[in-house]
Amino acid sequence: MENKMKHIPFYVDSSNKDDDDDHEGSHHQTLLFITACLVMIISWVLIHRLKQWNVKGGPKTWPIVGAAIEQLWNYDQMHDWILNYLAQSKSSVVVPMPFTTYTYIADPINVEHVLKSNFQNYPKGETYHSYMEVLLGDGIFNVDGEKWRRQRKTASFEFASKNLRDFSTVVFRDYSLKLSGILTKTSFQNQEIDMQELLMRMTLDSICKVGFGVEIGTLTPELPDNRFATAFDTANIIVTLRFIDPLWKLKKFLNVGSEAVLDQSIKIIDDFTYSVIRRRKAEIEEIQEANKDDKIKKHDILSRFIELGKDPENNMTDKSLRDVVLNFVIAGRDTTATTLSWAVYMVMTHEEVAEKLYSELIALEESKANEENIMIEPYESDDSESFNRRVIQFAELLSYESLGRLHYLHSVVTETLRLYPAVPQDPKGILEDDILPDGTKVKSGGMVTYVPYSMGRMEYNWGPDAALFKPERWLKDGCFQSESPFKFTAFQAGPRICLGKDSAYLQMKMALAIICRFYRFKLVPGHCVKYRMMTILSMEKGLKVLVSRRP
């Protein structure tokens, strides 16, 4: 018994030792397996990274997330981030993202291929439509195919109308004078103002009058709160963020974060938009009742679409009209106001440009006064009534034809658009695999984005002074000379070229002619001017200035 007891511990210990050895062996094998997997993953990541880094000198990319990390890190300065890579590549830049791949282009030959030569292969696409649908719906800027063609045909007919042009000229003059009245009052009170906000109000009132035939009065001297404009800007910012936010669909499903804010903004936007539609429909019915035997003269674009909606084949519901309204708001309000803001900033920071422009405006004033045998009234800049009368007299000389004589003003606006295009980048879908003229391969399901912001700063497009604000580059013997729309892409090109180009120039030149003739601006000390990330190149913190009157 004693001997057995002596052997039992030995037997048990021997058994435990064998089990421990088995455990240690198994654990060792597991560690070896995990280490091998980690080595393989790290090697794959490094190889993938090295490979991607050498492709077109593009951004840092990683498995699964692509270039999203670097893009998010540089989100607030994304246009300059893209510019930096395009400047290095001299051609195009490929940026892989979690669910698609973006190819950015700035060479006019590539742009012409996408926007014209192979137009059918590069629609807006489902990806872009899904990002923007909540705001723009099935409006002209967010659809392809028959929906796009039908809306473009109607809009093209309206923009070609002399009646609309003449109506627009009167409206743009009236609202420019309202803006002038506010500037005069501000200058006497020596108060700082946000020019971008005022210009946004002016263009919103204008597009609602020209586009939809309604007066909404945001540019009154009291500057009432504008919930629609605030909600529209918020929605614009959030849908832009969707392009690089892989979680936006989840946030939308859960109705949290930015998508919850977007939902609230869209409700405000829709309330305003549907009220505009109801108001215009009611006005049309009243006019029809009062003028049963007369043909109604419809100057505004919405009325034309409402009229089309009476034909069952057109299927124009209130939702369709809502999309029409919002697409024209982003086209007629945001793009024009932001361009005017950058133009004022460029003029005020380039004294020689301001003086040349002032001289041209004085010359036009004297020339028109002589032609129409009008006595130019003297005015006292310290007398508000005298000053305002003088502004009105000058504005009455500004017609579509007389504004066409202002070649330097036209160059100032165009040069502003070259460096600060209202739409800084414009993505297109890819239906089928293709090879761009520079040899870049693009895959079906990806996106190609031409980048007007970068194109305007490329030395191979504009020469060694490409980064300088130089309106003279557009003049030849004192007359404005245009460039290829595939080089100067502020108004897009090809079949989708902007129908409102002439109307936009008309409003911008009308406003700037009055502003630059009678006022000087000085940036508020410490105010920082930089863009914010949204589909339109607006100023993040506005344009805060002090206003003084020209003697």
Contacts for 401 with CB less than 8 Å, ≥ 6 apart: none
What is the C-alpha separation between 440 and 219, in angstroms, rounded?
49
Is the Cα torsion angle 235, 240, 245, 248 positive or negative in sign? Answer: positive
What is the C-alpha separation between 43 and 38, in angstroms, rounded?
8
Nearest one of 94, 54, 115, 125 to 441, comparing CA atoms: 94
> Is 179 in contact with 219 (CB distance < 8 Å)?
yes
Following CA atoms 318, 322, 325, 330 in sequence, which dihedral angle do they give, to the nearest 10 degrees? -170
What is the C-alpha separation between 17 and 29, in angstroms, rounded?
18
Question: The tokens of 123 are what?
Answer: 């629609």
Is the Cα torsion angle 107, 110, 116, 117 positive or negative in sign? Answer: positive
Angle at CA of residue 185, ends 181 and 190, nearest 5°: 145
Three-state secondary structure of 183-196: HHHHHHHCCEEEHH
Would you list the DSSP string of 228-255? HHHHHHHHHHHHHHTTT-TTHHHHHHHT
Q: Look up residue 310 and give its DSSP letter.
A: T
Contacts for 53 with CB less than 8 Å, ≥ 6 apart: 60, 61
What is the C-alpha separation between 322 and 342, in angstroms, rounded?
29
**Binding-site residue positions for heme:** 498
Contacts for 243 with CB less than 8 Å, ≥ 6 apart: 131, 427
Strands (E), 67-216: 92-96, 101-105, 192-194
HSE-up of residue 163 (Cα within 13 Å, Cβ side):
9
**Binding-site residue positions:** 498
Strands (E), 222-317: none
Helix (H, G, I), strand (E, B) or coil at 149: helix
Beta bridge partners of residue 217, listed in sequence order: none
Nearest one of 331, 314, 317 to 159, comparing CA atoms: 331
Residue type for 324, please?
V
Nearest one of 116, 126, 135 to 429, comparing CA atoms: 126
For the CA atoms of the chain, what is the radius of gyration?
30
Would you list the DSSP string of 466-503? TTS--GGGGEETTEE----TTTS-TT--GGG--TTHHH
Nearest one of 196, 182, 274, 259 to 228, comparing CA atoms: 274
